[in-house]
Chains A and B, each alone.
Chain A
Amino acid sequence: MPESESAEQPPQEPVELQRDTAEGDGTAPAGLSEQQQRTLLRLLKVAYPHPDFPDDPYERTAKAVQDADGSAELLADGLDDLDEQAGGDFAGLSDADATKIVEQVANGAFFKLVHSTTVVALYDDHQVWELLGYEGPSFDKGGYVDRGFDDLDWLPDPRVEEYDGEPRAEIVATELVKAEGSN
């Protein structure tokens, strides 16, 4: 056994990109006040604005943010801070004014927590997939082979075989010079 097996330090696991996106148990998240929940929903809609999205996916994402590991205190404090900077009610601000406040907190731990969960939860939401025109899994339907994998019709059908003329020159110029536009 390697000597380094001392257990003085608890094992660590990476946290980013590891959000559990499985369905929750359906119970309402505890911890945030109604005001804080309202602020969170508004934050998501201001920071991730999609004119065509209804509220539902944002609400599900807000729940995922509240369920994220170790988020409770950071989240509550961050939301209170947004309200404070807004003079009391972040959710009541215009899009432009709310965006300005988000810009001020965007590099802090609170917003990073919201962001890392949101990019996973919002865009893994199947209603969002539909809104964006993504059809998702296809294997059970026989793939896309008979369902439009090659239905793009605004360009000509290109060659799929390799070029049958002169073979490619692999060594062209061998003197290292600065090329125009190479940087």
Chain B
Amino acid sequence: MATIDHKDPVVVIIGSGAGGGTVAHQLTTQGVKCVVLEAGPHLTRDDYENDEWRAFTQMAWLDMRTTSGSWRVANDFPNLPAWIVKAVGGSTTHWSGATPRFMEHEFRTRSVYGEIDGANLLDWPITLDEMAPWYDKAEKAIGSSHRHGRPALPANNNYKVFANGAERVGYKYYATGPYGTNATPYDGRPASVQDGFNFQGDKSGAKWSTAVREIPRALETGNLDLRPECQAVKITHDDAGKVDGVEYLDAAGNLHKQAARVVCVAGNSIESPRLLLMSSSSLHPDGLANSSGQVGRNYMRHMTGSAYATFERPVRMYRGETMAGIIADEAKYDTSRGFAGGYYMETLSLGPAFLAAFVEPGEWGRSFTEKMDAYERTAGMWIVGEDMPQESNRITLNTEVKDQHGLPVPNVNFDDHPNDVAMRNHGYARADLLYEAVGALSVHHTPPYPSTHNLGTCRMSDRPEDGVVDRWGKAHDVPNLFVSDGSVMTTGAAANPTLTIVALATRQADHILSEMNAGNL
């Protein structure tokens, strides 16, 4: 690892997850010195706990946050709007691993879907064609199954129920992937031992994460100064309007400033806009890079829901790779269903501890304990689809409530769009049919969990007046400030976002390198 002087203006990357970890890897392996500020600790495989609550306490982002709006999370989990990771590797530490690409039309939903009341749809400034080579690179980095010669994962018990149900209702596009965990050894990492723990960090290393691949390789170059437990609190700029440093608090609460030539913000879609809003100045009175007023707006969390079905005979859904099962038949634009956008169905399993907390928050009595008593005979799926961006779904600074550092906490305001509700109901109904086709005794519809996919709060547009960043993720208002995470997504598509975040970050790093070489950065 490099030790970089605080006065040395280097590339400063805030966050080490799918976006930040990828940019750090791309730049340091090309000889560029980088400082990565990571708010969480440096956990590695031996630290991870195969225990839901212990792991949650160990790695979840539990700093104070507030919520508002009509979404049910605001009632059930008012201070936990999102379930993401605060550790080196970010949320790739606990991601499940599904890696579908976006569809072609999902980059131009304003044109394809047209005007939808209340939705702030916008076409991306880039296309699937343009992204294709970057998707290839991302899939190879991750080692996605079913792609580039990587073999499929075998069928686990939960998948057997899921895929047989899919076949019986006439679905065709189901498989155990594409999925970011090795079926056979690849890239120095072993094959899955089907240990059943994904959301807690993978102790075996079979699952891709930036903590297991990009960060260690970046450290090996000698060009990365990784600073865990360092929370960025303000990005500063010079008189000319270029960013020139990042102020951060270390583990002991001491304030430091790292000089910067370029700043890449990759703190996930709640912390990234929060940091920009906290970095307001006389030049940027409404927050850094916020002349459009779009910083923090258009917060998307994907339309989600889960279905848990009980059967007469054992399933034991917890054994094996949690999300190695994907049905893509409903991932299409088909308005005969009564909504725009599409969704995927993906296998999902929780242990008893998490199932009790999430299956029907607040429920007690026999209706609740019957669900728990059926644990061994239960199969589960997650439904994940495109939600509509809305200007009022928004991250703001809550100056009434302070975090442990005395800083305003982020407030997450969210209302479902009617399109989201129609899609969720359609997904639940299709899940019922699927599980009934293989003999389900009952199917329970579980409401959305705290958000795992957080998107859109610094959206990409060619036009500075309606987006925060340009086609490269560079801030329209600041020539050397980049956003490198899922915040840049103009719209959310139906696919799990990690693959696309990695592809975008790889492409962005390539652009930063050429701009540096051209003397523009």
Please give the residue numbers on chain A whose beta carbons come within 8 Å of chain B beta carbons, in ascending order.
1-2, 4-7, 9-21, 47-50, 52, 99, 102, 106, 115, 119-120, 122-124, 128-129, 132-139, 142-145, 147-152, 154-163, 165, 168-179, 181-183
Contacts and interface: CB of A to CB of B under 8 A. Distances in A.
21 contacts: A11-B405, A17-B357, A18-B62, A48-B369, A124-B53, A137-B195, A138-B195, A143-B196, A144-B195, A152-B314, A154-B313, A155-B160, A160-B153, A160-B155, A165-B172, A168-B329, A170-B332, A171-B334, A172-B334, A176-B340, A182-B337
Contacts of B193: 138-139, 142-145
Given A144-B194, A155-B164, A176 B278 contact: no
B438 A155 contact: yes
B163 interface: yes
A17 B125 CA distance: 40
Nearest to B157: A152
Contacts of A168: 172-173, 328-329, 331-332
B375 A136 contact: no
B141 to A, nearest CB: 21
Contacts of B57: 18, 20
B105 A170 contact: yes
Interface string B304-345: 000000000111101110000000110111111111100000
Interface string B402-413: 111111110000
Interface residues of B, number: 105
B396 to A, nearest CB: 13
Of B166, B174, B247, most A-chain CB atoms within 10 Å = B174
Interface stretch (B30-38, B72-80, B89-97, B473-481): B72-80
Nearest to A131: B373
B154 interface: yes
Interface string B51-77: 111101100001111000000000001
Nearest to A140: B50
B364 A47 contact: yes
A12 B403 CA distance: 6
Contact of B404 (A1, A11, A120, A134): A11
B408 A4 contact: yes
B250 to A, nearest CB: 14
B353 interface: yes
Nearest to A106: B364
B406 A7 contact: yes
B255 interface: yes
B173 A171 contact: no
A143 B406 contact: no
Nearest to A14: B79
B196 A144 contact: yes
B234 A2 contact: yes
B64 A143 contact: no
Contacts of B146: 161-162
Contact of A182 (B155, B164, B176, B338): B338
Contacts, number: 269
B162 to A, nearest CB: 8
B211 interface: no
B62 A14 contact: yes
B332 A133 contact: no
Given A2-B278, A52-B373, A162-B177, 5 more contacts: A4-B402, A12-B401, A115-B362, A133-B316, A169-B332
Nearest to B450: A17
A150 B155 contact: yes
Interface stretch (B7-15, B214-222, B421-429, B453-461): B421-429
B318 A5 contact: no
Contacts of B78: 16
A136 B366 contact: no
Contacts of B166: 158
The 9 A-B residue pairs with the shortest CB-CB distance in the complex, in nearest-first order: A143-B193, A133-B376, A14-B79, A182-B338, A137-B50, A158-B163, A143-B195, A172-B334, A149-B320
Nearest to A151: B157
A16 B80 contact: yes
Contact of B352 (A102, A134, A177): A134
A60 to B, nearest CB: 14
Interface string B231-245: 001100000000000
A14 B83 CA distance: 13
Given A48-B368, A150-B155, A171 B160 contact: no
B51 A161 contact: no
A151 B157 CA distance: 7
A182 B337 CA distance: 6
B85 to A, nearest CB: 14
A174 B114 CA distance: 10
Interface in B343-393: 351-353, 355-357, 362, 364-366, 368-369, 372-373, 375-376
Given A5-B405, A12-B402, A134 B376 contact: yes
Contact of B79 (A15, A143, A157): A15
B135 interface: no
Contacts of A102: 364-365
Given A16-B78, A150-B156, A137 B197 contact: yes
A9 B402 contact: yes
Given A13-B404, A16-B77, A139-B204, A155 B161 contact: yes
Contacts of A11: 64, 402-406
Output the residue of A119, A124, A165 with the most chain B CB within 10 A.
A119
B333 A172 contact: yes
Contacts of A123: 352-353, 355-357, 372
A47 B363 CA distance: 10
B81 to A, nearest CB: 10
A173 B336 contact: yes
Given A11-B406, A136-B351, A168-B328, A173 B197 contact: no
B188 to A, nearest CB: 19
Contacts of A135: 318-319
B64 A119 contact: no
B364 A161 contact: no
B515 interface: no
B139 to A, nearest CB: 14
Contact of A139 (B50, B152, B247): B50
